[in-house]
Amino acid sequence: MAVNPVLLELPDLAGLKEQAESLTLPTNNKVSLTGFGDKKSPFRSRGLDFQEVRMYQPGDDIRQIDWRVTAKYNKPFTKLYTEEKEQQIYLVCDLRDEMHFAGHGHFKSVIAGRLTALSAFIALQKKESLAYALMKDKLYFSTPNTSADDLIAPLLSSLIEPTKEKSTVSFSDLLKKLGHNLRTGASLIIFSDFHDVTPVDMEQLGHISLKNAITCVHIYDELEHHLPKEILPYSDGKETLILDATGANLQKDFKKTWEEKTNLLRTAAQKYGWGYLPIKTDSPYLKEFTEFCLG
């Protein structure tokens, strides 16, 4: 079935389930960028749950001695832990007004939505805990403590549901509320063009990454970093504007704006050890994301 390049459609999103069977989402940070190399997360991809305290036995790690119980009974006791069965996969999908654009290929919103759906199916296949946040006319968060099986249907429905109001939320708004929804040790994957991120946002995301693995999938279009020296018409479907892009100053400022944004993302990814995957709207993005997951 041909993919609609400008609209997310339920049959297409549901069909991505088959492609999820052999994939695993990144739970250790890595950077898909020449010269950065792989960066491992500073924490385990799965956490540990306290199980019980028992008498110390030869070979036990002395760092796990429970000194409070040891002092009480005057005998050494060791804390035992079991590995958590699930890791939380937290997906953030940016579907704000600026994402409904592409000079070539698929709209940024379509790429973000399809990769979000694919990631949700991967989490479901691997029996991971799933949660999500959607950035649209406002912020939409998944219901806490809901199983992945029960979240898939509302997620797909929310992805395809059109909005009538203009988006008023910012990336900063997302970060202010995101921390309350993340479990420690979660794997946070953000699908966005990051058009409004600020240095302060990057610092906040860096703070979040101290206890969580973060992957930023940066979706962009060729026109965002290379403006043709032409007279260009732009339309939102209702009105059309004409832009004279032949001027040297406009070309210089346009290039500078793009470089500042991408350098902010790439520098933060390198500094904090995030995963970073740039995806262009006319690229084979499913293949690129699949290879990144298998990396």
Q: Where in the chain is the domain with CATH 3.40.50.410?
A: 10-42+86-294
Q: Measured between alpha carbons, how far is 129 from 148 in angstroms, rounded to an integer?
A: 6
Q: Would the pLDDT of 48 be above 90?
A: no
In this structure, of 95-99, 141-145, 220-224, the range with the lowest mean pLDDT score is 141-145
What's the pLDDT tens digit per position in 30-39?
444 333 333 3
> Is the entire prediction scored with pTM above 0.95?
no
d(CA 39, CA 41): 7
pLDDT at 236: 65
10 Å CB burial of residue 114 (0-12, 13-18, 19+) is: buried
Chain centroid, CA 116 distance in Å:
8
Domain 10-42+86-294 belongs in CATH node 3.40.50.410: yes
Residue 3 neighbours by CB distance under 10 Å: 14
Distance between CA atoms of residues 81 and 103, nearest Å: 53
The mean pLDDT of 147-158, rounded to a whole number, is: 93
